[in-house]
Structure 1
Amino acid sequence: MEQLPRGQKAVALYVLEHAREAVSLTASELGKVVGVSEATVIRFASSLGFPGYPEFREALQESLLDQLKALERHQLYQTVGEGNNFIQSVLRQDLQKGINILATLDDRPIEDLARAICESSCINIVGLRSAKGLAYYFSAYLSWFIPETHVLNADMFLENVINARGDSLFIGISFPRYTKRTVQCLALARELGKKTAAITDSPLSPLAPHADILVYAPCSHISFIDSFVIPVGLVNAVLLKVADNLGELTTKRLQELERAWAQYGVYEDRE
């Protein structure tokens, strides 16, 4: 925040202290309340990595919803109800949110992360609680091409970070409600000079200040459940970009794996 111009810093302080009021204001209205121009508010949103003020306000709305506890989310869900078709209502929320964010997604962070993965000797992935499944999913496919891929155990974060090679990459995965240990691990890795990346929901995530590379897309909250339909798509995009960057090695490795899977009967024979 110290690097922001004075006007933008005033906007930031107001939003931090009055998020519930700010979320309902237009850029012009927020500027009047803070005492700055509408252009300053828009530049503030842009400095955080948002395409414009509407996207910033939407992220702020999401962050306020994210602060609800699991029981509060479930109670809100019970109040709203699921409509006439249960399965459609569950899927519609993720699909609609995915459609809404398509125009705001940027390929560059995904390309940067894929490049960093290919250039690192060891990949250390940190994902806890509900994000642990996403971490293992990412690791499972990444290990096909990057042998030194590990999902870190929370009990050994400190030792893993301190003993990591100089060209190791630490990837923190966390979505609201963010796990403190994931943030702490990423912060320590960066403090010790390791390359870091975060897969999270927005530039406002507590992981963002500790990430050299920030890849983000929102997750949905369905009652007390964190739905990772969109984040899985984000991880898939990174995996595909890694495979593209590896070029002929990808083809060679897949051929080797297919021979091994056939030899050891890993998959059912469909013939």
Structure 2
Amino acid sequence: MNEGAATLFNGARLTPTQRRIAHCLVERSVTAASLSAAEVAELAGVSQPSVTRFAMALGYSGYPALRRALRDLVGGTADDGAEDNAMQRAIKAEAEHLQRLREQLGTLDDVQRAADLLVASRPLPVLGLRAAAPLAGYFGYFAAKVHPDVRVWDTGGTSLLDRLDQAKVAGAGAMLALVLPRYPRESLDVVREAKGMGYAVVAITDSAVSPVAEHADVVLPAAVGTRLVFDLHTGPMAMAMVLLQAMCDADPEPVQRRLEEFEAAAARRQLFQG
């Protein structure tokens, strides 16, 4: 995500339709300044008047004024890759997402703050429903090697709130919420409930204007790819592993001890072939 483009929307109270427009512009921050209002409307799946109202809600006279502000922030235009096929363009867009994530990580304050919150939580709940479920499982698998009590919540239902209660009684002080488009309503409900119970919430999501952002203590945005039939989650997975590394760095001695214990147990049980 381009930090400069996102600053235009920070603090704005946006409707769900306006959040879709903001997400579209942030995700395409390199080329957004060259898009017409009609093109933005088509990409975001909204009407052209909605784009104009969005610009005016941010305090601009209309969309052209907002586009000038975007041009001033990000400048330039990107190579459209006209000679590439659709698959190549999708991967190229992912590479651009990772480049923006690299730039974003030039400042690690949010990542380190998130790591400190999660390392201290016993147990550590990890929420990821629907599209985010595989990412929750991936993070949880590795986090369990360095954290004594990781609880992955990747299925919904009424028992999810029971698990939230149980973790809180057991001592949980923070949770990691992985919330990706199309933003499951149940995930947002759990995050709101967790906040009401006193949890600190760290959210990995696709954009700083994601619906979960307003309920989280720390937001770690990483764009998803939208060029294929189904989204590519390369960026959020990279962010999750960066966060786990920061957790390891925040408390290195217990981490090293647990890793050594795991390796000894794996060798004794002959868990791996290589």
Same fold per superposition (TM over 0.5): yes
C-alpha distance 85-215 of structure 1, shift in aligned 2 (>3 A): same
User: Deviation at 1:87?
Assistant: 5.3
Distance 2:109 2:186 in 1: 28
- Aligned position for 1:62: none
Alignment of 1:196-215 (within 5 A): 196-215=201-220
- Aligned position for 1:229: 234
- Aligned position for 1:31: 60
Distance 1:19 1:147 in 2: 49
User: Deviation at 1:13?
Assistant: 6.2
**Where in structure 1 are there 5+ consecutive unaligned residues?**
1-7, 46-51, 56-79
Alignment of 1:1-271 (within 5 A): 12=13, 16=18, 19-21=50-52, 31-33=60-62, 54=73, 88-105=88-105, 106-152=107-153, 153-155=155-157, 156-165=159-168, 166-269=171-274
- After TM superposition, which residue ranges in structure 1, 4 or more long, deviate above 4 angstroms? 8-15, 22-25, 52-55, 80-87
Distance 1:246 1:111 in 2: 11
Deviation string 1:105-159 (CA, Å, 9 cap, x unpaired) is 4411111111011111111111111110000011011111112111123122111
Deviation string 1:180-201 (CA, Å, 9 cap, x unpaired) is 1111100001012122121101
Distance 2:129 2:90 in 1: 24
Distance 1:10 1:149 in 2: 33
Equivalent residues of 1:167, 1:195 under 8 A apart? no
Give the paired residue count. 223
Deviation string 1:151-174 (CA, Å, 9 cap, x unpaired) is 123122111122332443222111
How large is the Cα RMSD of the aligned pairs? Answer: 3.6
C-alpha distance 132-82 of structure 1, shift in aligned 2 (>3 A): farther
When normalised by structure 1's length, the TM-score is 0.70
Distance 1:82 1:186 in 2: 42
Report which stretch shifted further, 144-153 or 234-243.
144-153
AA in 2 matched with 1:154? G
**Where in structure 2 are there 5+ consecutive unaligned residues?**
1-8, 20-48, 75-79
Equivalent residues of 1:172, 1:183 under 8 A apart? no
Distance 2:149 2:72 in 1: 41
Instruction: Give SS of 2:98's match.
Output: helix
Amino-acid identity (%) = 22
Structure with greater contact order relative to length (CA < 8 Å, sep ≥ 6)? 2
Distance 1:10 1:125 in 2: 27
